[in-house]
Amino acid sequence: MSPFNLVLPYSSLFNKLPQQFIDTFNTIERKSFDNYLNISKDTIFHSDLSLLDDNFLYILNRLKVFEIISRNRIKRFSFDIGPCFRRYEIRNNKYYGIGDRLNKQTIYQDAVQKIKYIKQNIPSYCSIAIENLNYYRTGAYEFVCDPDLYNSICTETQIELVLDIAHVQVSAHNMGMDLETYSSQFLRKNISEIHLSKIRINDDGEALDAHEAPDFSEFGILLSYANEKDRIYDVVIEYYRDTETLIHSYSQLRQVIKAESQ
């Protein structure tokens, strides 16, 4: 049995995809609670909301997130941790802090408190996961890209980790760390879901999460997780630009996984 369950993202491309292609997936990943329509497939949900944002819980309640999770039997609810500031602005897809930076202990305590609240308000069949953030040199990413922070939060609250491979690559590059050394610090026992996309390096030598379609380089990293016994990872290709490329990328990934298993 394959250790990977390929998951189709529900994006603006979804209704343009051939039904035959959609039918090859048992699971979809949703990213928006607005105008939520149920689809007759297992569903996991990843929100881009920031856990450390002061309005995080308020937004969840305003959007009736807990009711939607229960009504649609969502299997996993995951989210970002966000920058090390309670207030921030976003420029060029990067966080910039406003006011005082949070220290690591405050970040940990705030995250644990909010996660425990979420766990009290969702059904037991819905697991919770937090996604690793990608590091940029804006001053807003200190502490929140440290693997030990995610390990500690997952252990304390008994939640899972969404490992974004592109975020791992971006963080290692921008922090000047060896990729394998950095990635190995995330405890594999916590990982339940893996996101794949391709990064790029800009003219200033900074790595960026470009959300390009992954290829054999990223697939090779994914396959390194196949050695874990009795583990099945949900795998999402985070590409949202055109259907042809998305279909081709999933086809390549299926071929790679099949060849590895033989």
The CATH number of residue 41's host domain is 3.20.20.150
DSSP secondary structure letters along 48-116: EEETTSTTHHHHHHHTTHHHHHHHTT-SEEEEE---SSSEEEEETTEEEEESPPPPHHHHHHHHHHHHH
- How confident is the model at residue 11, as a pLDDT? 87
Whether pTM > 0.85 for this model: the answer is: yes
> Total structural domains in the chain?
1
What SS3 class is residue 250?
helix
Which range of residues forms the domain containing residue 105?
A: 4-261
- How confident is the model at residue 48, as a pLDDT? 87
What SS3 class is residue 243?
helix
Mean pLDDT, the chain cut into blocks of 10 residues (262 residues total):
90 92 95 74 92 94 93 95 94 94 97 97 96 98 98 98 98 97 96 97 94 93 82 94 96 92 72
What SS3 class is residue 49?
strand
